[in-house]
Structure 1
Amino acid sequence: MAPRERPVAAPPPPAAAMRKRGPRKRLKFRAEDVCLERVTVADYANSDPAVVKSGRVKKAIANAVQQEAKSFCGLEASCVPTDEVLSVTESCDSSDEVDSKDSINDRISSRKKKSKRCKENSDDVVGKEYPIDIWLMLASYIRPEDTVNFSLICKRAWTVTCTAAFWTRLYRRHYNRNAILPIRLQPESMEKMYCLRACVIRSLYHMYRPFVSRIARNPAIPEITPSTLKNSKCLLFWSKKVDQQSSLWEFSFKLQRQSPRFKNSCSKRLQPPLRYEDVHMNPDQDCCLLQITTLNFIYIPIVMGMTITLFTINVSTDMRHHRVKMVFHDSPIWSGKKPRFDHGVQVVMDPVHSVRLFDWWHPQFPSSHI
C-alpha cells in the first residue's frame, strides 16, 4: 500500500506583495454621517487626552450637534454657516502639539484677565465703612483681654482703641472701691491724659479678677528669664534691708529690654494719632524689675548704664539656696559674637534667698508716671 502524499504548502508571497503595517489613521467623522445618537457625554467630559490633548470637541461632532439642534427648531443646517461660530476650533485636527500650546496660551490669558478683573473689583468695591461712633459703642462691651483682637478687625476699630474715651470707659467699668490703688491710679488722677493707657492697664492688675489670678499663677521667675534679660540695660539700681529683725537684703535692678538691631530697623509699628500721643506715652515701656533677695549684704559695684551680657542661676555651695552670676558690659553683644568676660564687670551673689522678675504692669513694679 503506497504512502499518502502530504500537500505541499504554498510559498509565501513576495515581500513587495505584503502590505506594510503602519500606524492606524484616525477616523474622520463627517458632519452628515454623525447624528445626535452617536454623540455621547464622553465626547465632552471624558475625552481621551491622548487623542485630543487640548480637551476640545471635534469640529465634525460640533457641527453634527448643531445641525440636529437646528432641525428640531425647524431650521436648515445650511442656512447659517458654522464656520463663524466654530472658527476657534479649526486648528484642533492639525496636530496635538499645536493644541497643547494653544491650550496653555488660553489658560495664561484667562488667568491674566481674571486677575485683572479681580484687581479692578478690589479697587472699586472696598466694603462698608461704619462710622467710628459705632465701633466706640461696640468697644464698651468687650473684655479687657480682647482688646487686641478688637483692634485687629479694621483700621477704625484700632483707632477707637487709641482714644482716651476707650480707656476711660474701660477703667470705669472695672473700677472697684475695695481695691487698694496707688495715688496715680485713683479715679481723681485718671483725668490726666498723660500715660492714661499705661495707668489703666496697671489698674486692671489691681482690680480685674482674671488679671489678678494670672499674676498669682505665674512663677516668681520664669524659666526663660536668662535669655530674656540678655542685652538688657540697667537703668537704676538700689538696695535695702527687708526688715530690722532679719538679715535679708533686697537688691533691685530696673532693666530695659533691647531688641536686636535688625528688628528695630525693619519693624514698622502703627503710630497712634497725634492728638492721642500723650495717652499712649509710657516711659516704662519694655522695662522690668529684677529683684534679688540675699541672706546678707553683698557689695555690688556701680553697674548703672551698663548692659547684662550673661545671667545664670545655679545651686549654691550649701545646696540649699541659689547662686546668681551676672556679667555687665558697656555695650550689648549680639548673636554671633562671643563676649570677653575679662573686660566686663562680674557680679556674683551667693547665697540667694529668692529671685523675682516683674514687668512694668505688675503691681509691685515701681512706676515712674508723673
Structure 2
Amino acid sequence: MPKKGNRKRLKFRAGDVCSESVTVADYADADPAVVKSGRVKKAVANAVEQEVKLLCGLEASQGAGEEVTADALDSSDDLHPEDDRENDIKVAHKKKNKRRKESSESSDGGEYPVDIWLMLASYIRPEDVCRFALICRNAWTVTCTAAFWTRLYRRHYKTDADLPFRLQPDCIDRMCSLRARVIRSLFHLYEPFTLRVSKIPALPESTPTTVLNSKCLLFWVRKVLGTRPEALWEFNFKFLKQRHSKNGCAKSLCMPRQYEDVHTNPDSDCYMLQVTTLNFIFTPVVMGMTLSLFTINVSTDMRHHRVRLVFQDTPLQRGNKRGDQGGTQVVLDPVHSVKLMDWWHPQYPSSPYV
C-alpha cells in the first residue's frame, strides 16, 4: 500500500478536454454519490470555459492551464452544500455593502428647488399627498406650506357646495389650522372622499377594541329630534387615541417653525363616540378617565342595543387586560344607534377654533 506522501500529482490541462469528452453526466445526470456537492468539478468547468473562449476568438486566460492536484479535487468534492450556501451569502452581503458605500459616496443626482415642487404639487390629487411628500425633503416641505393647502382647497371648491360656516372660503384664509380645515372640506367637496364616508358602516366591528384604553377628554348630552314623536338623546364621548411606538415615543420630521400654525389641529388623534338613546339616562362624570371595557349587546326588549362602558382612573399597561370589576360604569339602554367618527368626518363636532 503506498504511503500518503508518495501520492502522485495529476496534471490536468485545458487542451486535454474537448467538447466530445464533456457529457451530460457531468451536469444534470451527475451521480450525487460521486459528486457530493452536486456541482461540476473545477477542472472540467475550467476546461469548458477555456474552450468556449477559444471558440469565441478570445485569448486564453493565463490561469487556464494550472495544475490541479488530486488532493485539491478531493477537498473540493467533499464540500457540503450548506457550506457553499453560507459562503455565497457572505459574498453577496459584502458586495451589497460595497454598493451601498459607493452609492453613498457618489454625488450623482440633482436637488431641485422648492418652487419646482410647489409647481408640481398643483397637479397632485388629494389622495396622493402623502406619496408626494415622501419623494424628498423639499416635496415634504411644500406640503407644509399654506400656499399648498390653499390651492388644494380652491381647486376643488364649488360655489353650490353645502359647507359649514367654518369651512367657507372666508374662514379658509386664516393660517391657524388651515390644513385641518382643508381636509375636512375635501370630505364635502371631493367625490372620492365623500364616497369613502358613505361606505363606512355606522358601527364598525372594530369599534369596541378601537376605543379601549383611550382617555375621555370631553362628554356631553344633548336632545335631538328624530323620526319618532319623542325626542332622542345623544351621548357624545370625545376620546384621545393612545399612540404606541416601538421606542416609546413617536419619531417624525421636525416641522418648520413658520408652518406650525398651518398644521395646528386640536382634534388630532381624537375621535367621537356618539350613542343615541330613546330616552334620557343619568350618567356619572367620566371626563379625564380611561375606557377599559366597551360592550354592545342586545337590549332587554330584544329590539334595540345595550351599550356598557367601564372607565378607570389610570390607563391600562400595554398588553395587560383589566376586568370589569371596579371603576365607573355607564350603561345606556335602549340604544337607537352607535357611531364612531374620526376628526375628519363631516359629522364630527369639531372644536370652535377649527
Alignment TM-score > 0.5, same fold: yes
- Correspondent of 1:256 among 237, 240, 243: 240
Distance 1:164 1:248 in 2: 41
The counterpart of 2:163, out of the listed 166, 181, 188, is 181
Report Cα offsets for 1:289-333 as digits up to 9, x if no partner. Answer: 111111111101111111111111111111111111110111122
Shift of 1:354: 1.3
**In 2, are the aligned partners of 1:230 and 1:308 still within 8 Å (CA)?**
yes
Q: 1:1-370 maps to which residues of 2 (within 5 A)? A: 28=10, 38=18, 42=22, 50=35, 55-57=41-43, 85-86=62-63, 89-90=66-67, 92-96=69-73, 98-99=75-76, 111=92, 114-115=95-96, 117-123=98-104, 124-243=106-225, 246-260=230-244, 262-263=245-246, 265=248, 267-370=250-353
Shift of 1:206: 1.6
CA distance in 1, matches of 2:45, 2:190: 76
The answer to whether the Cα contact below 8 Å between 1:167 and 1:200 also exists between their aligned partners in 2 is yes
CA distance in 2, matches of 1:367, 1:181: 14
Deviation string 1:21-58 (CA, Å, 9 cap, x unpaired) is xxxx9995676xx8588466839x95778499784337
Q: CA–CA distance in 1 between the matches of 2:320 and 2:89?
A: 50
Q: Which runs of 5+ in 2 are unaligned?
A: none
Alpha-carbon distance change, 143 to 336 in structure 1, aligned in 2, over 3 angstroms: closer
How has the CA–CA distance of structure 1 residues 296 and 320 changed in structure 2, closer, same or farther, with 3 Å as cutoff? same
Which amino acid letter does the alignment assign opposite residue 124 of structure 2?
A: I
Distance 1:106 1:355, change over 3 A: closer
Shift of residue 193, structure 1, vs aligned partner:
1.8
Deviation at 1:267, TM superposition (A): 3.8
Q: Structure 1's 237 and 26: CA in aligned 2 closer, same or farther, altered over 3 A?
A: same
Q: How far apart are the structure 2 equivalents of 1:233 and 1:182?
A: 28
Q: Deviations over 1:259-278 (max 9, x none)?
A: 34x54715422333232222
8 Å Cα contact 2:268-2:343 kept in structure 1: yes
- Larger mean CA deviation between 177-186 and 334-343 belongs to 334-343
Letter in 2 for 1:95: A
Question: Which residue is 1:6 aligned to?
Answer: none
Which TM-score applies when normalising by structure 2?
0.77
How far 1:172 sits from its partner (Å)? 0.7
Provide the residue aligned with 1:7 in structure 2.
none
Go from structure 1 to structure 2 and tell me whether the alpha carbon gap of 1:26 and 1:287 turns closer, same or farther (over 3 Å shift).
same
Runs of 4+ with >6 A deviation? 51-54, 58-62, 103-109
What amino acid sits opposite 2:248 in the alignment?
S
TM-score (norm 1): 0.74
Cα distance, 1:205 vs structure 2: 1.1
State percent identity of aligned pairs: 50
By how many angstroms is 1:335 displaced? 4.7
Task: Report the Cα distance in structure 2 between the residues aligned to 1:298 and 1:150, rounded to whole angstroms.
Answer: 49
Cα distance between partner residues in 2 of 1:303 and 1:159: 40
Name the SS for the 1:265 alignment partner: coil
Report deviation, 1:201. 0.2
Task: Give, in whole Å, the separation in 1 of the partners of 2:230 and 2:36.
Answer: 96
Higher Cα radius of gyration: 1
Alignment partners' CA distance in 1, 2:46 and 2:274 = 89
